[in-house]
Structure 1
Amino acid sequence: MSDPKYEKLEEDEPDTQEPLASSEQKPYKETEPLKRHAGPQDPTGYGATLPKGSEYPRSYGTSSAGPYQTPGLLPPPGVSVRPIQTTEEPDYLCYSIFTMLCCCLPLGIAALVFSIQTRDANHRGDAASAQRNSRNARILAHTALGVGLVLLIVYIVLMVIMTKKIHEQNPPTGQ
């Protein structure tokens, strides 16, 4: 190694020390993690109650907990937690699946998408969105059913006309 940097590093390398004899080693002392340390307690810890008239700590969201404390889990001021009220708008899911499979596939798929969005809005408790999506699912499903029936009637009429033309060109032979 002709590079002077490597040579310098090798020269500055510390000597390895021999391990201490067992009589010179400090005895191992096991700590008890369930005991709290002696000292001032943080009043913002988990389950703590603040004195009357005091506000929540300004350092909300920062972890200033000691070694055996959990971070402050108090909600910020002005926040209340309410259970979600689900709505009960009809989602027309079965109707949408039927129209998708039996009537008109593109409109049935669109109706199915709105049906699923209605179900999600019902679970979220979003009444306005649930009503709008329910109405769109119903309209698209009705439209898909109408288009499917019209196409079925047109198909039947065309088959009757084609059958008449075939029979006119090739009349059946009588006995």
Structure 2
Amino acid sequence: MNTATPQIPNHLVWAILSTLFCCLPAGIVSIVYAAQVNGKLAAGDIAGAQESSEKAKKWAIWSAIAALIVGVLYFILIMAIGGMGALSGGSSY
């Protein structure tokens, strides 16, 4: 009989990095799910640990996507503001 505990990644590193460098709210949700994985494994809840692992990964990815979208929108906004200044003939000094 195989009683070894399966290795299920908790994605905690990705959750922390996405919280620090991407989107704080989604990153925090990712950390919460990542923190649940090891506890559920220790309790023998393999299905629950796998579900928490997948949710932690999903929220970390969403956090990174949100940061990318915000970055692109910020870039577009800055370019639009810069373009309006050039169109008005005004000086930026």
Q: What TM-score comes out, normalization by structure 2 length?
A: 0.85
Would you identify which runs of 4 or more consecutive aligned residues in structure 1 move more than 6 Å? none
Tell me the number of residue pairs that the alignment of Structure 1 and Structure 2 aligns: 89
1:87 aligns with 2:2: no
Q: How does 1:125-164 map to 2 (within 5 A)?
A: 125-164=44-83
Name the CA distance, whole Å, in 1 between partners of 2:24 and 2:91. Answer: 39
Residues 56-92 of structure 1 deviation map (CA, whole Å, 9 limit, x = unaligned): xxxxxxxxxxxxxxxxxxxxxxxxxxxx743311111
Query: Which stretch shifts more, 147-156 or 158-167?
Result: 158-167
Name the CA distance, whole Å, in 1 between partners of 2:22 and 2:39. Answer: 25
Identity of aligned residues (%): 27
CA RMSD in angstroms, aligned pairs only: 1.7
5+ unaligned residues in a row in structure 1: which ranges? Answer: 1-83
Whether the aligned pair in 2 keeps the contact of 1:118 and 1:130 (CA below 8 Å) is yes
5+ unaligned residues in a row in structure 2: which ranges? Answer: none
Displacement after TM superposition at 1:165 (Å): 1.1
SS in structure 1 of the partner of residue 67 of structure 2: helix
Residues 111-165 of structure 1 deviation map (CA, whole Å, 9 limit, x = unaligned): 0000000122223332111101011111111111111110110011101111111
Displacement after TM superposition at 1:171 (Å): 4.5
The aligned residue for residue 101 of structure 1 is 20
Q: Which has the higher contact order (CA 8 A, sep 6+)?
A: 2
CA radius of gyration, larger in? 1
Match of 2:40 among 121, 127, 142: 121
